[in-house]
Amino acid sequence: MKKVSAVLLILLSVAVGALFIYSAFTKIYTLESFESFQYTIVEYVKLPWLLAALAGRALIGLEFALGVLIMAHIWGKGKWVLKSAILLTIIFSIYLVYLWVYAGNDINCGCFGDAIWMSPSTSLVKNLFLIIALWLLLRLHKQLVVSTLKWIPLVVCAIAVASPFIYYPIPDNQPQWLKKGRFQLDMAALYAAGKTDAPKVDLYKGKHVIAFFSLSCPHCRMAAYKMHIMLQKNPKLPLYMIIAGKDEYLADFWKNTKAQNIPYTRLKADDFTAIAGFSWPVIYYIKDGWVEAETNYVLLNQSAIEEWLQKP
């Protein structure tokens, strides 16, 4: 019976460790999934963009390190690795309760990135079983007995936490300023006679950040989601979207981006590509109809836009 219990506890430790590793992997295996995780922190936890970038990388690295150590049965002095895993799961659970109350249950909590859609309530149930499993390991299971284990967990944690900062360095968030290449944007198609959704503002006057999005483009959706959050944090930002794509993609676009708070105009494919080209998203800083800078969905940054708006 003891051998059966020992085998079951070993399998439980491997399963729990694998779950932590998979959770970390799904948040960082693509740039889109990683950016989505950061945007969730900004939107719901209300952290500043830079702090969210730091916290997101550190949390993913810590989650991966705990998974590797639990799976390898290396738990440190006093089993602090298991205790840290329980504490981290409790913190995530508190966040899930807040998310459920603040945003409802019909959203993806982001626990497994975009790989597995999971509501806050479902994730809370998952976390409950996870805490019970960690508690069983803490009370009933033994770690590997090796004299060097005192420092191995700390080294693993240090390497794992540092890795996301190396894999995805924090960008400087500065757009590409155009000097000699500065050009005037031809937006006549936006104001064509009879166009029912023509811009209500004159995009040829003043400063605007204009983004060209294809409804089916995943990077466009990431940029639109980011702009949605930025406009929530500062409603005075002069953001504008120009959208092209089939009607069948529109509902999913709004669901994924929540960008209905951003004014927009739709264009036919030929008019859209005549202005934006064939690689999207295209995001321009425009002053009086002239493109002064361009950026992408990763470098798009609220503080950079606000600094630009302050310039004469």
Q: Does residue 106 register a pLDDT over 70?
A: yes
From 167, 201, 225, give the residue that closes a domain.
167
Q: What is the mean pLDDT of residues 156-169?
A: 94
Task: Assess whether 180 and 162 both reside in one domain.
Answer: no
Q: How confident is the model at residue 93 (pLDDT cuts 50, 70, 90)?
A: very high
Q: What is the pLDDT of residues 115-128, one digit of tens each?
A: 888 899 999 999 99
Report the percent of the chain where pLDDT is more than 90: 64
Examine the pLDDT at 104 and tell me if it is beyond 60: yes
d(CA 254, CA 150): 50
Asked if residue 147 has pLDDT above 60, the reply is no
User: 180 and 162 in one domain?
Assistant: no
Chosen domain end from 142, 167, 192 = 167
CATH, residue 231 = 3.40.30.10
Among the listed ranges 120-129, 134-143, 257-266, which one has the minimum average pLDDT value? 134-143
Same domain? For 240 and 220 the reply is: yes
DSSP letters along 36-83, please? HHHHHIIIII---HHHHHHHHHHHHHHHHHHHHHHHTT---GGGHHHH
Last residue of a domain, one of 128, 148, 167: 167
120 and 255 in a common domain: no
> What's residue 159's pLDDT?
95
- Helical segments of the chain, H only: 2-28, 31-40, 49-71, 80-103, 120-140, 152-167, 218-233, 250-257, 269-276, 302-310
Q: Is the pLDDT of residue 259 over 80?
A: yes
Q: How many domains does the chain have?
A: 2
Q: Which long-range contacts (CB under 8 A, 24 or more apart) does 39-42 make?
A: 39/222, 39/225, 39/226, 39/229, 40/110, 42/229, 42/233
| Domain ranges, residue 234 | 176-310
67 and 34 fall within a common domain? yes
Identify the pLDDT of residue 114: 81
Let me know whether 12 and 92 are in one domain: yes
Report the pLDDT value the prediction gives residue 149, as an integer from 0 to 100.
Answer: 66
8, 157: one domain: yes
Q: What is the pLDDT of residue 206?
A: 95
Residue 1 has what pLDDT?
Answer: 66
Q: What is the mean pLDDT of the chain?
A: 91
For residues 56 and 86, state if they share a domain: yes
195 with 134, same domain: the answer is: no
pTM: 0.85
72 shares its domain with 102:
yes
Q: Is 227 found in the same domain as 163?
A: no
Whether the pLDDT of residue 5 is over 70: the answer is yes
Q: How confident is the model at residue 148 (pLDDT cuts 50, 70, 90)?
A: low
Q: Classify residue 191 by its DSSP letter.
A: G
Is residue 145 domain-shared with residue 193, that is, in the same domain? no
- Whether the per-residue pLDDT at 226 is higher than 90: the answer is yes
